[in-house]
RNA sequence: GGCCCCGUAGCUCAGCUGGAUAGAGCAGCUGACUUCUAAUCAGCAGGUCGCAGGUUCGAAUCCUGCCGGGGUCACCA
């Protein structure tokens, strides 16, 4: 469509109706906000008016004349200050119906990604316990984003980095050791600084079965390393099973520990050093709020300010050991070396302070060639019957991912988590999630899909081949054409959502599509001649083709979100 | 104090990366079921897009400065 407009503009130039040297970069061709204005609108005349030294309306008039030569353009009207409103022949819209039916689940797939390799890292929760609701949003978001990018033509890798290198794993190991003693009927107490959760009880027992009494009354250096590995494996098994409840499967689990002792962190920092970005220095304390016990320390620093960060960041502590940042740089370096063209990290909002330095690191390592996008997911606020539901580890009101999924099911969990932009907080109300009403968008969309199937069954389940061959010219009612236009938006919407890394747009689109469908279906209740199945065989087939296409798109959209379409809801 | 995110209808939120009269859903009011699922639909009402400037043909959208809410801030990972 846009190329058609641009071609017409060039034609006007060769016809000397427009000056030759014009910049078309700002010309847009988009569906107008108000459909009454037409199907497509272009701002070409207003953008070019100044450059061309002509009145906008004159340019628009000339352009309109040119465009009308094309049979696909039904009308072209100049409006307002110089908008050119285009109305497409309805046949242009209607062809999306057979297209959608023939292409099926492939309808709307895009070549946008051009097979570029993109790595989406998400969840990456510390392997110290089961996933809780806070992790759920990032998990669902990352997974839907990965599916979306894949649908848009990217070669996607889903990745989870296991933070198994840090001191929190020591804490985990000690906690498991206490459970191990407990399994041997030794008296134990759980001081501050260990993980008291019940989920470690079976791990302690499993450890007993594996090593018997070997670690009893032994000092820490005998068992710590072994239990670290054992406990981490157990926790990852737990986390994988939690993810499986949501239908999430990772392609790669990357162990942070695997970077230690292999020279890879050193090599990565060496690469930065060669760019002159590593130095010994002393950081100034944060302004305004000096932390208690601040003292200046000489550390190894990364000059992240060269790549957009606010202050330089330490990669080594004053005692010479790595900060967390160092292996994380090395980890991202590893991703780059694995050949990814683009990287995405999905973090919780509490990691907001981390994005600049991570982007700086990737920018430095790749000379800005590999883009890193970091998506922050804001908090999830839990509600029960409208009452805020506070989560607290101490009070034991710690809501697990498992609890949520078991209560409301994976489909509802996923959809609800995606009905908000990632950077806006999300309210999750258990009562509402379970409610099967229009208040709950999941059911609204599912219901539309189920209704299509119901109608199809009533019509004797006509074959796709028959529907694809339907004479769609019978569809003339405004409500029918509105629905067709909504369907035609789908491919463009996929590209927009993918390029913005915003899967929530899919959810909102599906809601709109379902709304158009429900509206049309309802017309049949008011005006019997508008029912999908009528005495007119050709008309019925055309309408069935239309709603079949609706089902195709809903199915594809829900597929991206990871939600199962339901053929029946009773 | 620095940085990041948010501020749009009574409530919860969209707004297609600058377009025309800013949109949904809930809640409120009016209506629509002997029919392919009323788990639905049609309509009414509801707005200084936090405030003030700037950029231009044109701003909820971009820039600057404020105000308000949240997050975060060296040897934690």
Q: What is the 3-state secondary structure (H, E, C) of A469-494?
A: CCCHHHCCCHHHHHHHHHHHHHHHHH
**Is the pLDDT at A227 greater than 70, yes or no?**
yes
pLDDT digits (tens, 9 = 90+) for A120-157: 999 999 999 999 888 999 999 999 999 999 999 999 99
Nearest protein residue by Cα to C1' of nucleotide B25: A439
Q: Does the nearest atom of strand B lie within 7 Å of A423's Cβ?
A: yes
**Nucleotide closest in space to A437 (CA vs C1'):** B39
**Nucleotide closest in space to A83 (CA vs C1'):** B20
Q: Does the nearest atom of strand B lie within 7 Å of A421's Cβ?
A: yes
Lowest mean pLDDT among A271-280, A381-390, A402-411, A532-541: A381-390
Give the pLDDT score at A289: 64
Give the pLDDT score at A393: 54
Mean pLDDT of A210-221: 96
pLDDT: which is higher, A89 or A357: A357
Give the pLDDT score at A397: 58
- Pairwise CA distance, residues A568 & A514, whole Å: 15
Rounded to whole angstroms, the distance from the CA of residue A421 to the C1' of nucleotide B13 is 10
Residue A263 class from Cβ within 10 Å (0-12 exposed, 13-18 middle, 19+ buried)?
exposed
Looking at strand B, which nucleotides approach a protein CB closer than 7 A?
1-7, 12-17, 19-27, 32-33, 35-42, 57, 70-77
Please say whether the beta carbons of A521 and A543 come within 8 A. no
Mean pLDDT of A355-373: 94
pLDDT digits (tens, 9 = 90+) for A6-33: 888 888 888 888 887 777 767 777 777 6
3-state SS class at A280: strand
Mean pLDDT of A288-299: 77
A277 is written with which tokens?
């970005």
Q: Does the nearest atom of strand B lie within 7 Å of A379's Cβ?
A: yes
- Pairwise CA distance, residues A543 & A72, whole Å: 23
Q: Does the nearest atom of strand B lie within 7 Å of A245's Cβ?
A: no
- Pairwise CA distance, residues A253 & A339, whole Å: 17
**Is the pLDDT at A400 greater than 60, yes or no?**
yes
- Pairwise CA distance, residues A71 & A226, whole Å: 75
3-state SS class at A242: helix
Q: 3-state DSSP helix/strand/coil percent for chain A, to nearest 5?
A: 55, 15, 35
Residue A26 class from Cβ within 10 Å (0-12 exposed, 13-18 middle, 19+ buried)?
exposed
Give the pLDDT score at A363: 94
Q: Does the nearest atom of strand B lie within 7 Å of A398's Cβ?
A: no
Residue A4 class from Cβ within 10 Å (0-12 exposed, 13-18 middle, 19+ buried)?
middle
Q: Does the nearest atom of strand B lie within 7 Å of A564's Cβ?
A: no
pTM for this entry: 0.94
- Pairwise CA distance, residues A358 & A285, whole Å: 21
DSSP string for residues in A89-129: -HHHHHTHHHHHHHHGGGTT--STTTT-EEEEE-----TTS
Q: Does the nearest atom of strand B lie within 7 Å of A95's Cβ?
A: no
**Nucleotide closest in space to A527 (CA vs C1'):** B35
**Nucleotide closest in space to A292 (CA vs C1'):** B74
Give the pLDDT score at A431: 79
- Pairwise CA distance, residues A118 & A116, whole Å: 6
**Is the pLDDT at A429 greater than 70, yes or no?**
yes
Give the pLDDT score at A34: 67
pLDDT: which is higher, A493 or A88: A493
Please state, in angstroms and as integers, the Cα–Cα distance from residue A527 to each residue in A240, A372, A532, A542, following that order: 53, 54, 11, 18
Give the pLDDT score at A359: 94
A162 is written with which tokens?
């296991």
Give the pLDDT score at A58: 81
Give the pLDDT score at A216: 96
Please say whether the beta carbons of A358 and A328 come within 8 A. yes
* Residue A425's pLDDT band (cuts 50, 70, 90): confident
Please say whether the beta carbons of A437 and A170 come within 8 A. no
Question: Which of the 8 DSSP states describes residue A290?
Answer: P
DSSP string for residues in A168-185: HHHHHHHHHHHHHHHHTT
pLDDT: which is higher, A289 or A300: A300
pLDDT: which is higher, A483 or A51: A483
Mean pLDDT of A477-495: 92
Mean pLDDT of A183-203: 92
pLDDT digits (tens, 9 = 90+) for A430-449: 878 877 666 788 889 999 99
* Residue A1's pLDDT band (cuts 50, 70, 90): low
* Residue A290's pLDDT band (cuts 50, 70, 90): low
Mean pLDDT of A296-307: 92
* Residue A361's pLDDT band (cuts 50, 70, 90): very high
Q: Does the nearest atom of strand B lie within 7 Å of A447's Cβ?
A: yes
DSSP string for residues in A334-397: HHHHTT-SEEEEEEEGGGGGGHHHHHHHHHHHHTT-S-EEEEEEPPEEEEETTEE---BTTTTB
Rounded to whole angstroms, the distance from the CA of residue A33 to the C1' of nucleotide B19 is 9
A473's CB contacts (< 8 A; 6+ apart) are A90, A91, A94, A542
Q: Does the nearest atom of strand B lie within 7 Å of A436's Cβ?
A: yes
Mean pLDDT of chain A: 90
Residue A528 class from Cβ within 10 Å (0-12 exposed, 13-18 middle, 19+ buried)?
exposed
- Pairwise CA distance, residues A481 & A360, whole Å: 49
Compute the radius of gyration of chain A from its Cα atoms. Answer: 29
- Pairwise CA distance, residues A323 & A305, whole Å: 18
Strand A278-282 versus strand A40-42 pairing type: unpaired
* Residue A201's pLDDT band (cuts 50, 70, 90): very high
Please say whether the beta carbons of A523 and A530 come within 8 A. yes
């Amino acid at each position: 469509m846009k190329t058609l407009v641009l071609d017409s503009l060039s034609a006007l130039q060769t016809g000397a109706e427009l000056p030759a040297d014009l910049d078309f970069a700002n010309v847009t061709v988009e569906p107008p906000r108000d459909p009454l204005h037409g199907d497509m609108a272009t701002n070409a005349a207003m953008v070019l008016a100044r450059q061309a030294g002509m009145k906008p309306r004159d340019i628009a008039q000339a352009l309109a004349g040119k465009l009308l030569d094309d049979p696909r353009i039904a009308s072209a009207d100049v409006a307002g200050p110089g908008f050119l409103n285009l109305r497409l022949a309805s046949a242009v819209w209607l062809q999306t119906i057979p297209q959608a039916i023939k292409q099926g689940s492939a309808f709307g797939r895009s070549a946008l990604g051009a097979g570029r390799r993109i790595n989406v890292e998400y969840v990456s929760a510390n392997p110290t316990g089961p996933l809780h609701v806070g992790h759920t949003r990032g998990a669902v978001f990352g997974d839907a984003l990965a599916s979306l990018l894949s649908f848009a033509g990217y070669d996607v890798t889903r990745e989870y980095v296991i933070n198994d290198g840090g001191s929190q794993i020591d804490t985990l190991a000690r906690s498991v050791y206490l459970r191990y003693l407990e399994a041997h009927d030794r008296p134990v107490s759980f001081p501050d600084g260990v993980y008291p959760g019940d989920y470690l009880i079976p791990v302690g027992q499993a450890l007993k079965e594996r090593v018997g009494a070997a670690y009893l009354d032994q000092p820490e250096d005998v068992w710590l390393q072994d239990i670290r590995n054992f406990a981490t494996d157990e926790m990852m098994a737990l986390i994988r099973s939690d993810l499986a409840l949501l239908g999430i499967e990772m392609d790669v689990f990357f162990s942070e520990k695997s970077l230690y002792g292999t020279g890879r962190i050193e090599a990565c920092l060496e690469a930065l050093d060669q760019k002159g970005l590593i130095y010994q220095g002393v950081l100034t304390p944060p302004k305004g709020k000096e932390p208690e016990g601040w003292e200046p320390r000489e550390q190894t620093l990364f000059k992240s300010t060269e790549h957009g960060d606010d202050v330089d960041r330490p990669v080594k502590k004053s005692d010479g050991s790595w900060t967390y940042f160092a292996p994380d740089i090395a980890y991202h370096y590893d991703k780059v070396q694995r050949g990814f063209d683009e990287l995405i990290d999905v973090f919780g909002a509490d990691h907001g302070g981390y994005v600049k330095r991570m982007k700086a690191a990737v920018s430095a390592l790749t000379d800005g060639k590999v883009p890193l996008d970091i998506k922050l997911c804001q908090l999830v606020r839990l509600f029960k019957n409208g009452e805020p539901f506070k989560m607290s580890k101490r009070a034991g009101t710690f809501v697990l991912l498992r609890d949520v999924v078991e209560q409301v099911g994976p489909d509802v969990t996923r959809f609800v988590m995606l009905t908000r932009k990632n950077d806006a907080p999300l309210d999750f109300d258990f009562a509402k999630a379970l409610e099967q009403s229009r208040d709950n968008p999941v059911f609204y969309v599912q219901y539309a899909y189920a209704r299509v199937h119901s109608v199809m069954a009533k019509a004797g389940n006509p074959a796709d081949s028959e529907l694809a061959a339907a004479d769609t010219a019978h569809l003339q009612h405004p409500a029918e054409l509105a629905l067709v236009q909504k369907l035609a938006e789908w491919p463009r919407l996929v590209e927009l959502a993918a390029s913005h890394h915003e899967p929530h747009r899919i959810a909102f689109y599906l809601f709109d599509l379902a709304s158009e469908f429900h509206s049309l279906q309802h017309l049949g209740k008011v005006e019997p001649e508008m029912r999908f199945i009528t005495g007119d065989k050709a008309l019925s087939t055309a309408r069935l083709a239309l709603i079949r296409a609706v089902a195709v798109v809903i199915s594809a959209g829900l597929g991206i979100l990871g939600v199962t379409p339901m053929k029946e809801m009773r």
